[in-house]
Amino acid sequence: MSQNKQPRSPILSILFTLGILVTLAGLFFVFGGSELLNQKNESAKKSIHESIDKNLTNLAEPIIEKVVQPFRVPDLSSVPNDKYGDSILRGKDYLEHTFEKLPQFVGAKNNCTNCHLNSGTTQFAGPWIGVVARFPQYRSRSGKIDTLTDRVNDCFERSLNGRRLPEKSSEMTDIISYMTWLSKGYAIGQDIQGSGMPKIVLDRLPDLKAGRVIYESKCASCHQSNGQGLYTDDGHVAFPALWGSKSFNIGAGMARLQTAAGFVKKNMPIGQGGSLSDDEAWDVAGYFTQQNRPDFKNKKKDWPKGDRPKDARY
Ligand code: HEC
Ligand code: HEC
């Protein structure tokens, strides 16, 4: 009958040993061992907390002081040679040839860069340097927090008298890629030298007769006496239209006297920025902004909180 006394199988003996080990470990925890381990955990936790606290304190201190940041234009050679770089360059192309490349979204015969000079890299001409860090932002005209794509679409609808580009379109992505590339290195919440359009505010109505004289002598050679601009034989903008059906509509920032006067004073006649006096810029801006131009159908929705600026056209 000795054959019945089978030796234990190796698997069973391993399980048996494991069982004993688990029981021992359990006893170790119950009697004091767990206390020891807990202490170790606590001190590890404490040191993690201390280092997080230290990092938080560092963040609370101003890493970059609130000073006006210098204006830096990145070199085109720094556009990466990859898919992102391709998107940046397509975006730049849309902004420079907007009415030709995106005709379904543009009613005017002008381009974004006719106002945002040198592809959005000129100070005091609405540069896009650092613009990505300025949005989202509250805007009184819309009465809400606007994203950068909202702002881009405002200029599509108003400055180019067109339609809103779908937010998820590849064209919008490319435009944002270009603006992101121009904004590299700028922190959120910093002012940048020469951003935005300068404004002139004089405490008088513009003298439209004087404005007309200045227009004829200093502007008409390029923008034409009838304000209709000049186009090359192959249809590119040589000098953008300043009024009429090819121009921005009454909802555009450039249709406002203070903005138009500031832009003209700093940038026009092109290449001779700063040559007009404030009074001349005010009068000539009064003259061209008040000419006939397309209406803006959603104008009733502007400044919903009632804080309409004085120089708005409606
Ligand atoms: C007729 C002139 C004009 C044209 C054309 C124009 N814009 Fe603008 N744009 C402005 C003015 C004026 C502002 C307001 C600047 C300010 O508030 O100081 C502005 C502001 C912007 C801003 C916000 C800039 C900032 O610093 O906050 C963006 C982004 C922008 N435009 C994009 C575009 C795009 C994209 C196009 C083409 C679809 C375009 N703009 C065409 C005049 C123009
Ligand atoms: C030597 C030619 C020339 C003269 C003179 C000139 N401009 Fe311009 N202006 C331009 C060019 C070119 C642009 C577009 C810039 C670009 O695309 O880089 C422009 C753009 C503009 C714009 C932006 C318009 C838009 O809708 O895109 C305004 C406004 C403007 N000029 C007003 C004036 C006024 C006012 C005067 C006279 C005080 C004037 N300009 C004189 C060449 C000229």
Q: Are residues 80 and 175 in the same domain?
A: yes
pLDDT band at 21 (very low <50, low <70, confident <90, very high): confident
Rounded CA-CA distance 288/173 in Å is 34
Q: Are residues 80 and 177 in the same domain?
A: yes
Q: So what's the pLDDT on residue 57?
A: 61
Percent above pLDDT 90 for the chain: 75
| Numbers of helices and strands, H then E, in the chain | 11, 4
Burial class (CB in 10 A: 0-12, 13-18, 19+), 290: middle
Interval 252-269 mean pLDDT = 98
Residue 221 lies in a domain: yes
Rounded CA-CA distance 21/18 in Å is 5
CA 298 vs CA 10, 102, 208, 223, 286: distances in Å: 84, 21, 28, 28, 23
Q: So what's the pLDDT on residue 247?
A: 98
Q: Are residues 81 and 174 in the same domain?
A: yes
Residue closest to 29 by CA, chosen among 21, 18, 19, 16: 21
What Rg do the C-alpha atoms of the chain give, in angstroms? 33
Collapsed DSSP state (helix, strand, coil) of residue 112: helix
Closest approach atom of ligand 1 to CA 165: 38
Q: Are residues 168 and 212 in the same domain?
A: no
Closest approach atom of ligand 2 to CA 117: 18
Q: Are residues 177 and 221 in the same domain?
A: no
Residue 134 lies in a domain: yes
Q: What tokens appear for 112 in the block?
A: 């974004």
HSE-CB at 166 with a 13 A cutoff on CA atoms is 4
Residue closest to 263 by CA, chosen among 217, 194, 185: 194
pLDDT tens digit sequence for 201-217: 999 999 999 999 999 99
Residue 223 lies in a domain: yes
Q: So what's the pLDDT on residue 14?
A: 75
Residue 308 lies in a domain: no
- Measured by CA distance, the residue closest to atom 31 of ligand 2 is 268
Closest approach atom of ligand 1 to CA 156: 38
What is the residue range of 22's domain? 13-48
Q: Are residues 230 and 293 in the same domain?
A: yes
Residue 2 lies in a domain: no
Q: Are residues 276 and 237 in the same domain?
A: yes
Indicate if the pLDDT at residue 1 is higher than 50.
no
Q: Are residues 109 and 160 in the same domain?
A: yes
Q: What tokens appear for 114 in the block?
A: 């006719």
How many domains are contained in the chain?
3
Ligand nearest to the CA of 288: 2
**Mutate which of 239, 249, 283, 291 to test ligand 2's pocket (most atoms within 8 Å of Cβ)?**
239
pLDDT band at 2 (very low <50, low <70, confident <90, very high): very low
Rounded CA-CA distance 314/302 in Å is 9
Residue 57 lies in a domain: no
Q: Are 199 and 253 in contact (CB under 8 A)?
A: no
Domain containing residue 293: CATH number: 1.10.760.10
HSE-CB at 59 with a 13 A cutoff on CA atoms is 6
Q: Are residues 238 and 157 in the same domain?
A: no
Q: Which sign, positive or negative, has the C-alpha torsion 135, 137, 142, 144?
A: positive
Tell me which of 140, 166, 182 is where a domain ends.
182
Rounded CA-CA distance 251/297 in Å is 9
Computed over every residue of the chain, the mean pLDDT equals 90
- Measured by CA distance, the residue closest to atom 12 of ligand 2 is 239
Q: So what's the pLDDT on residue 11?
A: 76
Indicate if the pLDDT at residue 107 is higher than 50.
yes
pLDDT tens digit sequence for 129-155: 999 999 999 999 999 999 999 999 999
> Which residues make Cβ contacts (< 8 Å) with residue 219, sequence separation at least 6?
242, 268, 269, 284, 288
Q: What tokens appear for 236 in the block?
A: 């590119």
- Measured by CA distance, the residue closest to atom 23 of ligand 1 is 151
Residue 31 lies in a domain: yes
Closest approach atom of ligand 2 to CA 254: 29
Q: Are residues 18 and 89 in the same domain?
A: no
Rounded CA-CA distance 51/45 in Å is 10
Q: Are residues 295 and 233 in the same domain?
A: yes
Burial letters for 35-74: b for 16+ Cβ neighbours within 10 Å, e otherwise? eeeeeeeeeeeeeeeeeeeeeeeeeeeeeeeeeebebeee
Rounded CA-CA distance 262/286 in Å is 12
Q: Are 287 and 214 in contact (CB under 8 A)?
A: yes
CA 24 vs CA 6, 12, 78: distances in Å: 28, 19, 65
Cα 85 to averaged position of ligand 1 atoms, centre (Å): 23
Q: Are residues 139 and 105 in the same domain?
A: yes
Q: So what's the pLDDT on residue 46?
A: 79
DSSP state of 8: P
What's the gap between Cα 314 and its chain centre? 27
Greater model confidence, 96 or 189: 96
Interval 45-71 mean pLDDT = 72
